Structure 1
Amino acid sequence: MPRFSIIVPVFKVQGFLRECLDSVLEQSYTDLEVVAVDDCSPDGCGAILDEYAALDPRVRVLHLPENVGLGRARNAGMPHATGDFLFFLDSDDTLTPGALRAIADRLDETADPDVLVFDYARTYWWGGTRRNVLARLLTTEGTFTAAEQPEILDLLMVVWNKVYRREFVEREGFAFPPGYYEDTPWTFPVMLSAGRIATLDRICLAYRQRRQGNILSTTSRKHFDIHDQYQRVFAFVDARPELAGWRPYLHRKMGEHCLDILSKPDRLPESDKREFFRLTAALFRTFRSGPVPAELRVLDGGYTRYRARREAGRAVRELGRRGAQARRAAATRAGRSWSAVLEHRPLDPDLAVYSAFSHRGVLGDPAAVYHAARELAPHIRGVWVVRDEEQAALLPPDVEHVLLDSLRYRRITARATYFVNNVNWPGALAKRPGSVHIHTHQGTPLKHMAADLLDKPGARHGIDVPQMLRRADRWDYSLVANRHSELVWDRAYPCHFASLRTGSPRNDVLVRARSGDGTAAAAVRARLGIPDGRQVVLYAPTRRDYVRGGHADRLDLARFADDLGEGSTLVVRLHPSLADGPARGMGLSELHRRGVVVDATDEPHVEDLMLASDVLITDYSALMFDYANLDRPIVVYADDWGAYAASRGAYFDITADAPGHVAGSYRELAWLFASQAWRDDESARLRAGFRSRFCEFDDGRAAERVVRTLMLGERPGEPASVVTVPAQAAHDAVTAS
């Protein structure tokens, strides 16, 4: 008996069917059967199904003599299912890699609940991906009933984001009715009857959004079917006295669902909307149970009144939109006026403004300079620019701040002398004569930047290089940690600034940690919940320009964590630009919950993670240049170096000039750790050469040097190089790309 019976109803999807079946049959978890139901499809679907069945004994095909529709095609497949759990997969959707393994593990963990609800992502025909916005509802640890956690019913009421225990389905006699909205009278009864529901916070299914929409988005009288389906739902509840308490909830859901259909201009012909409203109102009165929510009271009036209220609401929203635009325009004009007035006032020689990572808080190089200035130049007032109140709430209580584009922001920036940032300031910020703009960058560059992107149209997509350079024209000083960076920035930003060989201020803490007592690292490990004595492996991949959205799953995290063994903890930090996208939902969140890995993507200070780790694994992240200051092993996982370098461009070949061993495949990566070669003499030799080139000016005093040189007017001198690097050799490395 297989673990999963995957029932796939098929009708007119020949262009998507192979991708769907491959996504199932190529899963790492193989204990499954596929029951494919050819719903008398008029295209080539039947032949495709027979082809797959001939090649894989796990596939069985049922050819129906006539078209019966999606729900009844699922019903036709159920008697042929022998698995522990039923999975209804639409034939134009796909499973994500590793989905069945994650589902199976969660079922084992929760002792086979009646229903397991998992996450999904919408995938669009133009390549975009959007995660379910209610994914937060899928983080419950144990099992529950709908009565104990009713918000689970706020999820999309569909059949394909769940697996169902077959014995539970057969015992309760659940089946799909005919009709357009067949998922409604299946999902509500199933969820209300389930004695144990579990959730899985992982994207297991890609829900295809077709260019012309799905069947429920077409204009048709078939949308009238919703009324019959809700009558079936109420009939089910009425037949079970123990579910009577759900009537008010279902009454509200029915009203909301029907009004939502009516409000969509592409759902019903205009000539049928009055009739649809009348039937909805009649059904609403029939099943009324308790007080009517204010937003549904419109159903107590006629269609004319409903239309008038809807048009009035639309007019109010339009006025609000125009009013918001007018307010923004007025605020912009007022801001410019204030700026013009304030620019006639003298600069404040004791005022510095800081920002980091597009106004996200006290972070990175600007933070290191800020803290050094508070100690060495306490007379200089430091003010941070943050993007919103949410970011402001995360600041330490003794940090002065202003909100971006506020009147106070304009007042402060109009008079400040010092501007410290690792991202360009907004274009509206004018550079006044006498002000000092210090650009810290975000590390040593491996990938092409700024003007060097002009011959990389894919990587340049969405980047306005001329505007970027206009903003860089305001720079007075560019901080560099090595001569490689100095040469790159001179070419990538052809602007009038002076390079300052200070080292990277944020790396001061790493340089000093080489001879530290490990107290800081122990504190970070404790905060992350890492037991004492563990070997900590930090995995920090970067984003890809050849993949839409930037995320590519290059490493099976669960497998690698297992291969590392009990004595190791795998800490994962995704690129910050991927923190809010679907990347974490593809398994990282669930692995973190289960304690397989530690997801440290949200840790604000990456320096803490570096201090807490024993070894870094990265692909092409600039983090490796910072990490080298710790003089700890680095492994480069470069299984797609060719694609990355071709799409983004690189200043040198990291696989040839690496800071440690290079793994070109997972097999090589696993061997490096199994054999302990990741920390052998060759690793140390490669790291020493890398450090001599890229940690050249990092001596632990970079932030102090910036403050003394640029704010106090002292001349402390350049840092002594770790190892002298011939200028010509550095130049050759930069221009080789």
Structure 2
Amino acid sequence: MAEQALNQNSDTPKVSILVAIYNIEKFVGKCIQSIIDQDYKNLEIILVNDCSTDFSGKICDEFAEKDRRVLVTHHVTNTRQSGVRNTGLAQATGEYIVFVDGDDWLAPDFVSYMLGVIRETKADMVINPVNFTTRDHKQVPKNKIEIWSPEKATAEMLFPHISIGCWNKIYRRDFIEKHNLRFKTDLFTAEGYRFINEAAQRANHIGVAHRKVYYYRLNNTDSATTKPDVRQGTGALYALEGIERDMIIKTPYVMNALYQHIWKNYFWTMRQIIMTNSQSGNKELMQKCIRYVRKNSVPVASAEKSVVKKIRFYITGIFPTLAAHFVNCRFYLGIALDNWKNRGE
């Protein structure tokens, strides 16, 4: 009875937290425990195990046995992130929705802080441009709360000046259902990016939080963000085609942001080809990327306000392959440093 009363109390609405899980036995326990330990207690914790072949599913079941707020679903067919999150959305009963990647974790006040921002701003969704990482544990000096228009939020996510995943955000569930927002199941990658762009364009306005409460993991070597795969590049380009085709807001500000991101993704695809040492098997794709980066560096740089970025874009356009090698070296050095800093974890 006490739990039922809590669910019906408008001051403590239920928040559904949806966690996508696949072969992350090393990290998933920390993720789930951080959700259970939230200082806000009226939670529905939905864990969707997407056919893991390790002990991830068993770990989820063990948490469900200890806390009745934890609900576990085991997929019988692997559906990748899109299918997992759609399963979670179909099961969610909370007034608000939060997505968490299963190898990340939350600060104890994540829910209470983000819930406070979305209720204060009366927004359909709240985004948070700042995160803790396994490389950066410093809190921002000043917490500020803003309200952005759909145009501004869409552009800032397209550039991207903020995290492009669906995580570290909170959404009203009635807003998601009103617009039938779901993750596209034909995408190999960037499904979260597609989702947040569709959401931002349809929102009444967007609340913007500015305090770190989400821990984004950089040292998972099996993560799509750290494990080289050319399909990540081509998949992202395919997702961007869909974003461009279905754009609702097409102001110069938004379209400049979109074209800059497309340009960056061609460059990123080059980097993936180099990192996987697959130039011989991707000759045509590599040449296409080089041509695109060279041809479009000037218009992309011209639309950029930052002088430092302008110079970087121009140089990349002149020396695309050399620039790709340089950025890849920095990337690997960052991973090595992160693993060294977190070697005791």
Same fold (TM over 0.5): yes
Distance of 1:254 and 1:117 partners within structure 2: 22
Where does residue 102 of structure 1 map in the other structure?
Answer: 113
**Residue number in structure 1 paired with 2:255:** 247
Deviation at 1:257, TM superposition (A): 2.6
Given that 2:237 and 2:265 are in contact with CA atoms closer than 8 Å, whether structure 1 keeps it comes out as no
Distance 1:39 1:97, change over 3 A: same
CA displacement, residues 80-124 of structure 1 (integer Å, 9 cap, x when unaligned):
00112111101111111222222222233223x11112231111x
One-letter identity of the residue aligned with 1:17: V
Secondary structure at the aligned position of 1:175 is classed as: coil
Q: Secondary structure at the match of 1:215?
A: coil
Q: Which residue of 1 aligns with 2:192?
A: 183
- Deviation for aligned residue 1:249: 2.5
Whether 1:82 and 2:90 are equivalent positions in the alignment is no
1:312 CA displacement:
6.5
Judge which range, 191-200 or 145-154, deviates more: 145-154
Secondary structure at the counterpart of residue 217 of structure 2: strand
**Change over 3 Å in CA distance of 1:21–1:244 after alignment to 2:** same
Partner letter of residue 222 of structure 1?
A: R
2:271 is aligned to 263
Change in 2 beyond 3 A, CA 1:275/1:268: farther
Q: CA deviation at 1:309?
A: 2.3
Alignment of 1:612-623 (within 5 A): none
Bigger-Rg structure (1/2): 1
* Match status 1:207 vs 2:216: yes
Give the deviation of 1:144 after TM superposition: 2.1
Map Cα deviations across residues 652-679 of structure 1 (whole Å, 9 max, x no partner).
xxxxxxxxxxxxxxxxxxxxxxxxxxxx
2:163 counterpart residue number: 156
Kept in 1, the 8 Å contact 2:20–2:102? The answer is yes
**Is 1:64 aligned with 2:75?**
yes
- Alignment-derived partner of residue 231 in structure 2: 222
Query: Residue 23 of structure 2 contacts residue 54 of structure 2 at CA under 8 Å; is this kept in 1?
Result: yes
> Which residue in 1 is equivalent to 2:58?
47
Contact 1:117 / 1:199 at 8 angstroms: preserved in 2?
yes
Which amino acid counterpart does residue 169 of structure 1 have in structure 2? I
Q: CA deviation at 1:311?
A: 5.4
1:21 & 1:315 partners in 2: Cα distance? 37
User: Which residues of 2 match residues 401-416 of structure 1 at below 5 A?
Assistant: none
Q: Which runs of 5+ in 2 are unaligned?
A: 1-6, 8-12, 304-315, 328-340
Specify the SS of the correspondent of 1:36: strand
Tell me the distance in 1 between the aligned counterparts of 2:231 and 2:136: 29
1:255 deviates by 1.0
Q: C-alpha distance in 1, partners of 2:292/2:90?
A: 34
* Alpha-carbon distance between aligned partners in 2 of 1:268 and 1:4, rounded to the nearest angstrom: 45
1:68 deviation in Å? Answer: 1.0
Deviation at 1:214, TM superposition (A): 2.3
Q: Which whole-Å deviations, capped at 9, do the CAs of 1:245-293 have from their partners, x for residues lacking one?
A: 5333212211123213423542562235543345558999xxx9xx822
Distance in 2 separating the partners of 1:280 and 1:183: 24
In structure 2, the CA distance between the partners of 1:280 and 1:28, relative to structure 1 (3 Å rule), is same
Deviation at 1:154, TM superposition (A): 1.2
Per-residue CA shift, 1:515-552, capped at 9, x if unaligned?
A: xxxxxxxxxxxxxxxxxxxxxxxxxxxxxxxxx89xxx
Structure 1 contact 227–283 (Cα < 8 Å) conserved? no
Q: Which amino acid aligns with 1:141?
A: I
SS of the equivalent of 2:54 reads: coil
The count of aligned residue pairs is: 295
Question: Per-residue displacement from partner, 1:340-365 (whole Å, max 9, x unpaired)?
Answer: xxxxxxxxxxxxxxxxxxxxxxxxxx
Q: 1:197, 1:90 → 2: CA distance?
A: 22
Q: How does 1:577-588 map to 2 (within 5 A)?
A: none
Percent identical across equivalent pairs? 21
Instruction: Tell me what 1:233 maps to.
Output: 243
Q: Distance in 1 between matches of 2:279 and 2:165?
A: 27
Change (3 A) 1:251 1:131: farther
Q: Distance in 2 between matches of 1:139 and 1:258?
A: 35
Whole-Å Cα distance in 2 between the matches of residues 183 and 42 of structure 1?
Answer: 24
Alignment of 1:136-151 (within 5 A): 141-148=145-152, 150-151=155-156
Contact (CA 8 Å) 2:269, 2:289: kept in 1 or not?
no
Partner of 1:11: 22
Question: 2:144·2:211 contact (CA, 8 Å) conserved in 1?
Answer: no
Superposed displacement of residue 212, structure 1 = 2.6
SS of 1:5's equivalent?
Answer: strand
User: In structure 2, do the counterparts of structure 1 residues 263 and 316 end up closer, same or farther at CA, with 3 Å as the change threshold?
Assistant: closer
Quote the offset at 1:182 in angstroms. Answer: 1.8
Name the residue aligned to 1:500: none
User: How far 1:162 moved relative to its partner?
Assistant: 0.9
Alignment partner, residue 32 of structure 1: 43
C-alpha distance in 2, partners of 1:209/1:255?
24
Aligned-residue CA RMSD in angstroms? 3.4
1:275 is aligned to 2:279: no
State the Cα deviation string for residues 300-329 of structure 1 (Å, max 9, x = none). xxxxxx897235669999xxxxxxxxxxxx
Q: How far did residue 204 of structure 1 move?
A: 1.2
How is 1:566-577 mapped onto 2 (pairs within 5 angstroms)? none
Structure 1 residues 193 and 277: CA distance shift in structure 2, 3 A: farther
Asked if the contact 1:180–1:225 (Cα under 8 Å) also holds between the matched residues in 2, the reply is yes
**Structure 1 letter corresponding to 2:34:** S
Q: Conserved in 1, the CA contact under 8 Å of 2:133 and 2:217?
A: yes
Matched position secondary structure for 2:148: coil
> 2 CA distance for matches of 1:308 and 1:202?
38
Greater relative CO (CA pairs within 8 A, separation 6+): 2
Mapped contact 1:219–1:267 kept (Cα < 8 A): yes
Amino acid across the alignment from 2:115: A
Amino acid in structure 2 at the alignment position of 1:116: V
Looking at structure 2, the residues matched to 71 and 316 of structure 1 have their Cα atoms a distance apart, in angstroms, of: 33
Aligned-pair CA distance for 1:53 = 1.6
Give CA deviations for 1:8-41 in whole Å, capped at 9, x if unaligned. 1111111211111110011111011011101011
Tell me if the contact between 2:21 and 2:50 (Cα under 8 Å) persists in the aligned partners: yes
Question: Residues 199 and 316 of structure 1: is their aligned pair in 2 closer, same or farther, counting only changes over 3 Å?
Answer: closer
Partners of 1:314 and 1:70 in 2: how far apart? Answer: 28
In the TM superposition, 1:643-654 aligns within 5 A as none
SS at match of 1:60: strand
CA 1:307–1:272 in structure 2 vs 1: closer, same or farther (change >3 Å)? Answer: farther
Match of 1:705 in 2: none
Match for 1:144: what amino acid? W
Distance 1:201 1:142, change over 3 A: closer
CA-CA distance at 1:294 after TM superposition: 4.2
- Contact conserved, 1:114 with 1:196, CA < 8 A, in 2? yes
Equivalent in the alignment of 1:116: 126
Give the direction of change, closer, same or farther, for the CA distance of 1:273–1:25 in structure 2 (3 Å limit).
same
**1:258 aligned partner, one-letter code:** Y
| Higher-helix-fraction structure | 2
Q: Is the 8 A contact 1:9 1:91 kept in 2?
A: yes
The one-letter code matched in structure 1 to 2:151 is A
Task: For 2:235, give the aligned amino acid.
Answer: D
Q: Is the 8 A contact 2:271 2:324 kept in 1?
A: no
Distance, in Å, in 2 between the alignment partners of 1:186 and 1:282 is: 29
SS of alignment partner, residue 86 of structure 1: strand
| TM-score w.r.t. length of structure 1 | 0.36
Change (3 A) 1:233 1:131: farther
TM-score for the superposition, normalised by structure 2? 0.74
